[in-house]
């Protein structure tokens, strides 16, 4: 079989397509780097503090270059929320799915969440700071934040319910109350460790989680 040589027009067309692919790939890489810089900035000054100008300065790009990737300050904020949520799922939620249903998975969720929280003691949590900034400000940014938090709370609630269905928690246990208290531990940890800088906050959070599990465990046989 004789291979037909590529004609100049075909060669030019293929080269043009490859150039488009390279440009798109480079554009995605650039935007990912900008979003990463924006996330780091938002962790320090909050979502409300983000601006095209501030991000351009941090990323070393022109304002027009940054604007071209988002189109608006609001879309930039939404991109940061999406990226934060994806990282949260990768670090907290998905690794826990490798554990068995019930208490092992619930314990893993809490441990992963605690680990992430200890890292954020110095950088801050977008969910918490965003709730303070946008709790009374309707709009797409608030909706995106609320949706992300609700998604996580639903996953936590499901893990608690599975622990009960696996008989790792008693049938008398109020699963909504348990999920509420676990979430409250994380909020308290942020406040105690990040704002008040109190020593021992991490250990108290772990001890409180164990006490919640023990208090709501299956009834002991007499």
Q: Which residues contact 142 (CB under 8 A, 6 or more apart)?
A: 134, 135
107, two tokens: 């314990």
Q: What is the pTM of this model?
A: 0.82
Helical residues (DSSP H) of the chain, grouped into ranges:
8-45, 52-59, 63-70, 73-88, 94-96, 103-123, 126-134, 140-165, 175-189, 201-215
Decide: 130 and 43 in contact? Cβ < 8 Å: no
Determine the pLDDT at residue 202. 94
Mean predicted confidence (pLDDT) in 16-36:
68
Write the DSSP assignment of 102-145 as a string of letters: THHHHHHHHHHHHHHHHHHHHH--HHHHHHHHHTT--SHHHHHH
Determine the pLDDT at residue 59. 83
Angle between helices 201-215 and 103-123 (to 10 degrees): 160
Domain limits, the chain: 13-215
Q: Which residues contact 155 (CB under 8 A, 6 or more apart)?
A: 93, 109
Mean predicted confidence (pLDDT) in 73-82:
94
Checking if the pLDDT of 86 tops 70, the result is yes
**pLDDT bucket at 11, cuts 50 / 70 / 90:** low
Mean predicted confidence (pLDDT) in 38-42:
91
pLDDT (tens digit per residue) in 184-215: 999 999 999 988 999 999 999 999 999 999 99
Determine the pLDDT at residue 222. 43
How much of the chain exceeds pLDDT 70, in percent?
86
Checking if the pLDDT of 79 tops 60, the result is yes
Considering the segment(s) 13-215 as one domain, its CATH architecture is: Orthogonal Bundle (1.10)
What's the distance, CA 177 to chain centroid?
A: 23
167, two tokens: 């008989």
Mean predicted confidence (pLDDT) in 162-185:
97
């Amino acid at each position: 079989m004789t291979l037909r040589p590529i004609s100049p027009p075909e060669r030019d067309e293929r080269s043009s397509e490859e150039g488009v692919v390279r440009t798109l790939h480079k554009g995605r890489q650039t935007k990912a780097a900008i979003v990463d810089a924006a996330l780091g900035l938002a962790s320090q000054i909050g979502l409300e503090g983000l601006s095209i100008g501030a991000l351009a300065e941090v990323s070393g790009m022109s304002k027009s270059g940054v604007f071209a990737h988002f189109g608006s300050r609001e879309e930039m904020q939404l991109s940061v929320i999406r990226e934060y949520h994806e990282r949260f799922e990768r670090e907290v939620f998905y690794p826990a799915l490798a554990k068995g249903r019930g208490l092992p998975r619930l314990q893993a969720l809490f441990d992963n969440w605690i680990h992430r929280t200890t890292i954020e003691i110095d950088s801050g949590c977008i969910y918490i700071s965003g709730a303070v900034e946008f709790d009374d400000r309707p709009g797409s940014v608030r909706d995106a934040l609320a949706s992300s938090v609700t998604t996580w709370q639903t996953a936590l609630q499901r893990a608690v319910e599975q622990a009960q269905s696996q008989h790792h928690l008693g049938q008398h246990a109020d699963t909504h109350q348990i999920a509420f208290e676990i979430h409250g531990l994380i909020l308290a940890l942020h406040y105690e460790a990040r704002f008040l800088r109190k020593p021992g906050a991490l250990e108290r959070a772990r001890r409180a989680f164990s006490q919640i599990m023990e208090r709501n465990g299956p009834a002991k046989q007499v």
